[in-house]
Homo-oligomer: A and B are copies of this chain.
């Protein structure tokens, strides 16, 4: 992240932004019961209550504890409970056991949040620049947890045979199925990618650097549910030649036959979402597919996935704030595209690039240096942001990353090809 000094108006802006981020997180859980917020449905996911507390722990630890002389911990036992993975911050509660913590209650965690929020707002005007930078980092960190909170909730509710809806469904508009993909030729030769240091970015987005692109084209939109249903109907999940070896092993071990949350009945596909179980919308982007599935689909379609540089070179011409995001209003789900090429929102797009450091990358110093760099093995990069991403959080240089089998995020597919 950048560590520029903060002027007074910058500080006011940051206070506003900080308060808005905190408020959005709390809005997301307004309709949850204590139990909804406590249970963990799989080791990859965390309880909503944990997200609420962990994002507060981040501010409490790296800002209040380290930079506010008079601050006393809200509860001395919370750091053990709510540290996620920062080894430098000491031992911590086992990740897979986060769902066993029925106390503190949701109300107690909300009180913890309120205390931290107030303390940060009080402290902000007097914080040194490096602490200001940590508050800004903390806002982005909390935005990441907003998205996880939503996708973890969706997973939890999907495990309940009653399939309850988290939120009410949106009224459905009939939408024409989009026209076939159009191929847009990308830049070739030397291009620059990576964050240029103006405004906030995570450390892994830089340094900005030159890279060399061969001739290629990207699809003008992501793959739709209707196209995916055709892949299934063509035996896509039964034919090993489309699949990476690890992907095929995963398909067989887990008996995968469709995207996560899809179910077939009477020859029709439905999907489970935050508004319960409904028919798939053939015009909307497919989501909840793993990298293995994305790669297999591309192989079946005679194409491939974009690389990070190809994607970023194309996307940087577009507005990262236009699109279907968490705060778009209405249902949190991918929507059919209605106009020209879009790269942001709806679904994260799997790239074919393994998540590795850019040339010249150096992790940040201190505990926050554990933020990104240590995850640079075994994962693939996704780009663009989803319907569960807060709007301001998206950037052309943003590098999201997950393991190739994971698919409980809103993940989708854009095709690419050599030309």
Contact = CB atoms under 8 A, between A and B. Distances in A.
B39 A377 contact: no
A246 B378 contact: yes
A100 interface: yes
A206 to B, nearest CB: 13
B39 A102 contact: yes
Interface in A311-365: 352-354, 356-357, 359-360
A161 B34 contact: no
A245 B85 contact: yes
Interface string A229-255: 000000000001101111110000000
A71 interface: no
A292 B378 CA distance: 11
A101 interface: yes
A160 B39 contact: no
Interface size class of A (residues with CB under 8 A): 35 or more
A296 to B, nearest CB: 11
A404 B378 contact: yes
A190 B211 CA distance: 10
A375 B97 CA distance: 30
A161 B80 contact: yes
A88 interface: yes
A90 to B, nearest CB: 11
A81 B161 contact: yes
A365 to B, nearest CB: 11
Nearest 7 Cβ contacts at the A-B interface: A354-B354, A35-B38, A87-B240, A35-B102, A100-B159, A34-B35, A212-B212
A33 B101 contact: no
17 contacts: A34-B35, A35-B38, A35-B105, A38-B38, A38-B39, A80-B161, A81-B162, A93-B161, A101-B161, A101-B162, A102-B156, A190-B212, A211-B212, A214-B360, A245-B374, A246-B377, A291-B377
A234 B138 CA distance: 34
Given A93-B161, A103-B160, 17 more contacts: A33-B35, A33-B102, A35-B39, A35-B105, A36-B103, A81-B161, A81-B162, A87-B240, A102-B160, A211-B212, A214-B359, A243-B374, A246-B377, A248-B374, A359-B418, A377-B380, A378-B378
Contacts of A37: 35
Contacts of A97: 159
A273 interface: no
